[in-house]
Amino acid sequence: MGAESPHLSIVIPVFNEERRIGATLLAIERYLNEKKLTAEVLVVSDGSRDSTARIVADYQNLFKNLRLIANNENHGKGYVVRQGMREAKGALRLFTDADNATPIEELDQLLPHIKQPGASGEKGRTAADVVIGSIGLKESKVERGESGIRSLAGRLANLLIQTTVLPGIKDTQRGFKLFTAEAAEEIFSRARIDRWGFDIEALALARKLGFHIHEAPIRWIHNPESKVKASAYLNTFWDLARIRWWLWIGAYHIR
């Protein structure tokens, strides 16, 4: 790794992903080698009951700096992302989905906007602490879009999220978000949502803590086998109400 290259951690939350995790790990390894990035990859299993953990363990023999965190119980995606982000050692920390719905190559769209380790002066002040992949921008590219019901539920949820907690952010829900180490530590040490609303909470905390968020266009491929159902958006509404309440009463202990 060159002097200016970031030390990157890639966190992948998984739950019963035996059919997809191998291909995703190979894609990440290929990308890191092509870009000559020194990185660690943390796969955090959320109590998987299939062969996911065994497959990841097998890949550890081939993939340098691949770590597996295997939870015995299922806690939720927010829980394992939080766990991985706090276990990570990188100066920059990305979490991405196990199905590679946002191809790892889209990291090229995020890295130019993040605050680099040791940055100072005008560039350091204007760079973002959190950069999120978004399909809500005109430059974004969506392949194999979601069904009508899921798409409608997503739009309604996003409208409510913007209205109540995160005005100006067009897409909070893509599983492709990059944090500086400082932002990750400050945000995920306070976060408490274990399931679907964790993205909203992380970004709301980022704003409350004064971190600069940048939204970057990405290519996104909807996987018809996605485990996220339209009903999950209803649970997200409940999480949104809790986040707003906790912010109101100062439950996050932000000075």
Output the pLDDT for position 122: 55
* CA pair distance 43, 84, nearest whole angstrom: 8
CATH of domain 8-249: 3.90.550.10
- pLDDT of 219 reads 96
CB of 216 within 8 A of CB of 132?
A: yes
- Token code pair at residue 109: 């769209």
Every domain of the chain and the residues it spans? 8-249
Cα(192)–Cα(205) distance, rounded to whole angstroms?
Answer: 11
Closest to 221 (Cα-Cα) out of 106, 109, 107: 106
- DSSP structure string for 143-179: ESPPPHHHHHHHHHHHHHHHHHT-TT-S----SEEEE
What is the reported pLDDT for 149? 64
Q: Where are the alpha helices (DSSP H) in 17-168?
A: 21-35, 52-59, 77-87, 107-110, 121-126, 148-164
pLDDT per position in the chain (255 positions), as tens?
A: 343 434 899 999 999 999 999 999 999 999 999 999 989 999 999 999 999 999 999 999 888 899 999 999 999 999 999 999 999 999 999 999 999 999 999 999 999 999 988 766 555 667 999 999 999 999 999 986 555 565 666 677 788 888 889 999 999 989 999 999 999 999 999 999 999 899 999 999 999 999 999 999 999 997 766 555 556 667 788 899 999 999 999 999 998
Write down the pLDDT at residue 57: 94
- Check residue 6 and give its pLDDT: 42
CA–CA distance, 214 with 201 (Å, rounded to integer): 16
Residues 63-102: pLDDT tens digits? 889 999 999 999 999 999 999 999 999 999 999 999 999 9
Whole-number Å distance between alpha carbons of 96 and 105: 11
pLDDT value of position 153:
66
d(CA 16, CA 59): 16
Write out the DSSP string of 192-241: ---STTHHHHHHHHHHHTT--EEEEE-EEE--TT-S--TTHHHHHHHHHH
- Using CA atoms, how far residue 205 sits from 45, 119, 152, 191, in Å, is 25, 23, 27, 8
- The whole-model pTM stands at 0.91
Please answer whether residues 175 and 220 qualify as being in contact, where contact means their C-beta atoms are separated by less than 8 angstroms. Answer: no
Local structure of 131: helix, strand or coil: strand
Residue 121 pLDDT: 55
Cβ–Cβ under 8 Å, residues 101 and 220? yes
